[in-house]
A and B are shown apart, each in its own frame.
Chain A
Amino acid sequence: DQQVKQNSPSLSVQEGRISILNCDYTNSMFDYFLWYKKYPAEGPTFLISISSIKDKNEDGRFTVFLNKSAKHLSLHIVPSQPGDSAVYFCAASVGLNYGGSQGNLIFGKGTKLSVKP
């Protein structure tokens, strides 16, 4: 049973436009969410995170939005660049706001983003 779902396996965007990657989750106990980026033959690289006490977190071109009532988060990349082409993983965990986390990250299956020049 997938607790973290990324329903779009791929996304293609023109350079300079906005990329929006979506993620849904089912476990209402999740209180910490992260986005990772992965290039082929490399490990995932941490991009940005958000705690469930916030609904938005921004870091440069990357913004993550959290809608707790819908159990949905999204990653916006503006403007998109060809170097952003990679697989993006959404991940969630329990424990940040509950006084302890064991670091058990639950990952989605990933969305492959292609940014065309």
Chain B
Amino acid sequence: DTAVSQTPKYLVTQMGNDKSIKCEQNLGHDTMYWYKQDSKKFLKIMFSYNNKELIINETVPNRFSPKSPDKAHLNLHINSLELGDSAVYFCASSKEAWQPQHFGDGTRLSIL
């Protein structure tokens, strides 16, 4: 009964490939997020969706595209992967945008 689940947990791929990370929450929350934790351990927000609509889009390359098929899912698709994309990506959700966010366990993306 995991609240926020991400798949896969680990993703190893080569430069130039396209990959997707899936996120699902069963908390009935209206807002979902994607964060990136880089090698310096900073957690930075990438995107936020509220009721399937984009509300935050930080300075992220166009190669990153979030897709929200419904309120419970926010997937992250990455085109033409680069070495600098190696990081841990966290999905999160909250009932309202101002309320505490619940995080998934992260997806560790490694680019060879």
Contacts and interface: CB of A to CB of B under 8 A. Distances in A.
Given A89-B43, A93-B98, A104 B103 contact: no
Consensus secondary structure, chain A interface = loop
Interface of A: 32, 34, 36, 41-46, 49, 89, 93, 95-96, 100-105, 107, 109-110
A103 B48 contact: yes
Consensus secondary structure, chain B interface = strand
Contacts, number: 57
Interface of B: 4, 31, 33, 40-45, 48, 55-56, 58, 90, 92, 94, 97-98, 100-106
Contacts of B103: 36, 43-45
Contacts of B106: 41-43
Given A32-B98, A103-B33, 18 more contacts: A34-B100, A36-B103, A43-B106, A44-B90, A44-B103, A46-B101, A89-B43, A93-B98, A95-B98, A96-B98, A101-B98, A103-B48, A103-B94, A103-B98, A103-B101, A107-B43, A109-B42, A110-B41
